[in-house]
Each structure stands twice: as structure tokens, then as C-alpha cells.
Amino acid sequence: MTAATLEVTRPRRRPLGSAPLWLAAALLAAVSTVLSDRLPAWAVEYPRAWRLPIEPWISAAMKWLINDATFGLFTFQEFTRSISWLFNWLLEAAYGLLAQGFTFGKGEDALHIPHVSWIALIVVLVFFARRVGGRGLALFVAFCFLYLAVFGQWSSAMVTLASIVISVPFGVLAGLLVGIAAYRNAWVEKAVTPLLDLMQTVPVFAYLVPILFLFGFGPVAAMIATMIYAAPPMVRLTVLALRGVPEEIKEYGRMAGCSRHQHMWKVLVPAAKSGLLVGLNQVVMLSLNMVIIASMIGAGGLGFDVLHALRRLAIGEGLEAGIAITLLAIALDRLSQAAATRPPPAHGSVRDGSWLARNRLAVGALVLLLVSMAAGALVPAIAAYPEPWTVTTGKFWDEVVAWLNINLFDTITIVKTWLLVNLMLPVKEFMLALPWPVLLGLLAFAGWRLGGWRLALLPVALGAFILLTGNWEKAMITVYLCGLSVVIAAAIGIPLGIWAAGNRRRTGGTLAVIDTLQTLPSFVYLIPVIMLFSVGDFSAMIAVVAFALAPAVRYTVHGLNQVPEHLVEAGRAQGCSRRQMLWKIRMPLALPEIMLGINQTIMMALSMLVITALVGTRDLGQEVFTALAKADTGKGIVAGLCVAFIAITADRLIQAWSRRRKAQLGVA
């Protein structure tokens, strides 16, 4: 090849030339922060006089809703009360069946029918598990429920299970119907999507307050909060699943002459079944995730036990109840997943025979449960696991904590203090000193580079809300805590992901661990953290990192594994070393996916931050939390929206970047 052709084929400079621009922006931020003393005061600290009294407006609107709003025939309050009444009735029935038994009549002649026997319930669940998931799942389910019995968690677990049994079907049905409406009408989808974004990013605490006002303190309010929290993914997954039905099947439905109704219920919904069952699984998992938070507004059961133990710093008790929630969650997760992924029936299965023959398992289960209820009346040990047989490890854990405090206290304190002084405080001070016009400008610049003027306006508008409501400083503390946690989570998670993607065994093992970690309710992460580090920003950060680590790992593994095989082969054919293969071929291609993982990490970190308010942070999470304690609707909703807006800003920017990058790489 001649010099001339080399000259021609040399790559041109990158067309965007954006690196210097970004550098200049970063420099501007740094300089303005250092020189913040010289800037006008209003630029550093948003003046109090410029705030809008949004909080009292919301509180007033809430009051109007409860006291004066009316639909003509009935008032708003009557409406909420009738909903309460319905759910309360259903819950009572479920409690009776699973936890308390039924009592008819009063006094001496009262007839008491005990609840479903623990033995019978375990037998039925194990049979079901065997059917949908094989022997392994059956053993696992047996183990989980025996733990509940042996560790004395049974009755609390049944209270929790009862509320799940009632709230999940309603959540699924509501999600399904809204999802169908959104699938059918573009305008419904347009209206619902931002609402879903908000429902999933506003911390749960924020809407606990209005729910408390509308439905009163108690299990019903807790259940409604759970449904609001758990239904959004069902809506999204319904739309996705219906869209995912092959175009030809949709066309076939029309060619067969289906009416709209037939087309939906006889063609689309059955064809989308596996996707819809994933939605069911999500609803179950999120409902269990809410168990502890729901106990703050009156749900009993395991959640209440954990919360109660945490408040008394009874680590051992909290841990046992926490594990009980986790096992319940994993068991229900595996059961619903197995049901979702179960292949459709094969020929020669249940078609023939009478109704009884086709449903003999279900009938058998029902008979067993009913008989056990009757038998429980005669032999108490059948109804409830006998108290003397229960075990507890509470003492052991309390001793462990005591030992840790005595022996490791100094070491832990040194590490903690060092990190606080050298890492956390400087970052915090920087964020607080960063003038708000500069930060908003930077975000707008990033938005403009990534997605045009619309994306530039979004962070400015959302940031303006935070400023106007006077939450800027708290928001910055949130950003600092969340940002640091995410950086640390990424620093641990991405290398872990790279390692796990190394071969199939490691991938399988790691993903199994991650799956399990993600089924832990967020509160459970607080238990060991409090054990080791007591309270404060540092503890919060550790809990957030632990909670938010999973997506960083998962998306890294996924990103690396989805690099097209032919590109990897091409690299190998050109003689890349393993290191070159990773850094020159797989990582660049996986980066957009990894960034989506970071995005998820941010979302999870923000949701965890609110919960870490329990260990004494001073950010927006604390604001939401105290609003709940004081039942201050306006304050709670505003602070909750601020958290959501931070989340939405981060989400939109990262998504835009990832989309662009994927398009550039042609791996969309």
C-alpha cells in the first residue's frame, strides 16, 4: 500500500467533537463552586422569598376532597368508605380462613371454626409446587413454610399472606384492564405512561399520607397502598405482552371474524398469557416488598414484626421475621415463575373425563383444607403449630451484635470515620456549594446534546419545581448520597459482572444469587447495616449500595453476553488477546446496556434512600418520612415528587444516551 492511499484511509477526526465541550462544562461547574463566595447570594442559595407555597395548597386540596367533594349522588368520602368496607370484608374473610378462624354467635354458644391447618396448607402448596415446578421446587416450598412454622412466624406470615391473597388479584385485574385500555387507545397510553412513571418513582411513603387520610389507619389502607405500588408493572407488562403477540395471530383473529371482545379475550389475552403471568409475578413480588412499609399505616403480620423489632433495635427478632418475609417472597416468586414459564399442556392431558376427573387435584386440595379446619377444632396441634416446638435464634443474634460491638467497634469506627471525612463530606460540601443555576445549566446542556431542546427543558422544569418548593438543599443531599452509592455500586457491580460473564457456570450462579437478593424487601438490608454501623449517612450509604448493586451486575452480564457471537469470533480470528477482546470489542458494545444497569441502580438507590431515613439521613427521604409521621399531606407529596423528579431526570438522560449509543453501534 502506498503512502497516498494510507493518507486517504486514515480516519477523520470524530465529527461530534463533543469531548472539549463536555470538559468545558465540567470545568465551569468546578470553578463556579470554588468561587461560590464571589457569586451573588441568590445563585448559591435559592432565596426563601421566591418560594411558592405549594405544600399548603396540596394540603388544602386534600381537605376539600375529604370534607366537601361530592359526585352528586354520594360524596367522595362515602365513595372511599364504601371501598374500605368492601376490602375490609374481603380481608376479614381471608384472615379468618388463614389466620384467625371464624366465630359465629356470641358468648357461651359461640361456634368457633379454626383457620386452615398449617399441615394441610403445606401439603397443598407442596403438591402445587410439584405440579408446576417439579421435585426441587416442592422441597424448597416445604422448607420455606416449615421455617415459618418452626421459627414461630406462622401466624404473622398468614396475616401477611391473607393481605397478599386479596390485594394481588385486584392489583392484577386493575393492571390488566388499564393495560388493555392503553393497548387499545393511543390517548389512554399517552395519559397513563407519565402517571406510571410517577407511581414507580415517587417514594411509597409520599402517597401513604393521602391514603391514610382517605382510608384511615389500618390494614385496608395498607392494602390499597400496596396495590398502587404493585400494579404499575402489570399495566406496562400487559401492554408489552399484548403488543408482543405476533402480528399474524392478530391478523388471524380479524380474519376469523372475531368481534372486538372476542379478539381480546379469545385471541390476544390467551396468546399473551406467558407475558401476563410475568406481570402477575411482578405484582406478587412488589406486594411483598411493600409488606414492611405497609405496616407503617396499619398492616399487621411479618412487616409489623420487622418494623417493631427495628424500632427496638432487637436485631435477632427483626432478622427472623425479615428472613420469614424473604422466604415467603422467594417461595411465591418461584411458584408464580414456574407457573408462568410452564409450557402449555401437552396432548393426552386433562381433556377427557368428567369435570371431577379433570379437576381432581383442585377438589382434593379444597377437601383437605376444609377437613383440616374441622379437625383443627378437635386437635389444636393440627390447626396451629404447637408453641413449645418453636425455636428462636434471637438471643444468638443479639449476642453476635454485642460481640461485634465489643470487638470490632474500633476498626469499624476507623474505617467509617476515614471514609466520612475523606470521601463523603467533601462530596456533600461540593454538592451543597454548587450554584443551582450552574447545575441546571449543565443538565440542560446534557439534555440538549443527547436529545434536543425537549430533553433540555425537562431537567430545568423539574429542577424549578424543587427550587420553588424550597427543597433544593435536601435534594442535593439526596443527590450526593445517591450519587456516591451508585458510583460505589458500579465500582463493585461492573467488575463482578465482568467476572460472572466469563463462563456459563459463573453467569448462572451469579444471576441466581442476584435474583435472590432482589427478592429481599428493602428493609431487610437495614438490619445487618444497623447491626454493624449503627445510624447515620454512612450506614445509609452501605444499605443503599447493597440494595442497588444487583442491576449493575445483572446488566453488565447481560450486556457482555449479548454481544453478537460473530463479532467475538471476528475478534478471535484477528488474534485478540482475552484482555483486548474484553476492552476493545465486548465492553464498548456492552456499554449502552451497562448504562441502563446504572440507570436501574440509580432508581433503586433513590427508592432505598427514602427507607434509610429510618437510620437518620437528612435528605428528601427524611422529609417524606417526617411528613408521614406528622400526617402532612402537602409536605409528603411535594418531597416525594422531588425525589421522583430527580429519578426522572437521571432516567431520561441516561436512556437518551444509551439509545443514541446503541443506534450508533447498530445494536439497537
Which residues lie near another protein (CB under 8 A)? 246, 248-249, 251-252, 254-259, 262, 266-267, 270-271, 273, 343-348, 351
Task: For residue 31, give the C-alpha cell.
Answer: 470553578
Task: For residue 235, give the C-alpha cell.
Answer: 399495566
111 SS3 class: strand
Q: How far is the CB of 127 from another protein (least distance, A)?
A: 24
Q: Which is nearer to another protein, 258 or 339 (CB)?
A: 258
The residues with which 113 forms a beta bridge, in sequence order, are 102
Q: How far apart are CA 594 and CA 657, in angstroms?
A: 12
The residues with which 70 forms a beta bridge, in sequence order, are 75
Q: Which is nearer to another protein, 280 or 481 (CB)?
A: 280
Q: Which is nearer to another protein, 15 or 257 (CB)?
A: 257
Q: How far is the CB of 518 from another protein (least distance, A)?
A: 29
Residue 324: burial class (beta carbons within 10 Å; 0-12, 13-18, 19+): buried
Q: How far is the CB of 275 from another protein (least distance, A)?
A: 12
Q: Which is nearer to another protein, 37 or 248 (CB)?
A: 248
Strands (E) in 339-462, as ranges, are: none
Q: How far is the CB of 267 from another protein (least distance, A)?
A: 7
Q: How far is the CB of 247 from another protein (least distance, A)?
A: 9
Q: How far is the CB of 122 from another protein (least distance, A)?
A: 31
203 SS3 class: coil
Q: How far apart are CA 55 and CA 62, in angstroms?
A: 11
Q: How far is CA 6 from CA 1, 15, 166, 226, in A?
A: 7, 20, 72, 65
Q: Which is nearer to another protein, 138 or 271 (CB)?
A: 271
Strands (E) in 430-496, as ranges, are: none
Q: How far is the CB of 190 from another protein (least distance, A)?
A: 18
* Contact between residue 521 and residue 471 where contact means Cβ atoms under 8 Å apart: no
Under 8 Å CB-to-CB from 426, ≥6 apart: which residues? Answer: none
Query: At 334, which amino acid appears?
Result: R
Closest CA relative to residue 501, chosen from 570, 546, 555: 555
Angle between helices 394-407 and 522-533 (to 10 degrees): 40
Q: How far is the CB of 252 from another protein (least distance, A)?
A: 4
Task: For residue 618, give the C-alpha cell.
Answer: 437528612
Q: Which is nearer to another protein, 345 or 575 (CB)?
A: 345
Q: Which is nearer to another protein, 253 or 376 (CB)?
A: 253
Q: How far apart are CA 609 and CA 53, in angstroms?
A: 25
Q: Which is nearer to another protein, 259 or 422 (CB)?
A: 259
Q: How far is the CB of 333 from another protein (least distance, A)?
A: 24
User: How far from chain centre, in Å, is Cα 657?
Assistant: 23
Residue 473: burial class (beta carbons within 10 Å; 0-12, 13-18, 19+): middle
Can you give the C-alpha Rg of the chain in angstroms? 28
- The Cα angle at residue 44 between residues 39 and 47, in degrees rounded to 5: 115
Q: How far is the CB of 642 from another protein (least distance, A)?
A: 39
* Contact between residue 372 and residue 124 where contact means Cβ atoms under 8 Å apart: no
* Contact between residue 240 and residue 296 where contact means Cβ atoms under 8 Å apart: no
Q: How far is the CB of 135 from another protein (least distance, A)?
A: 24
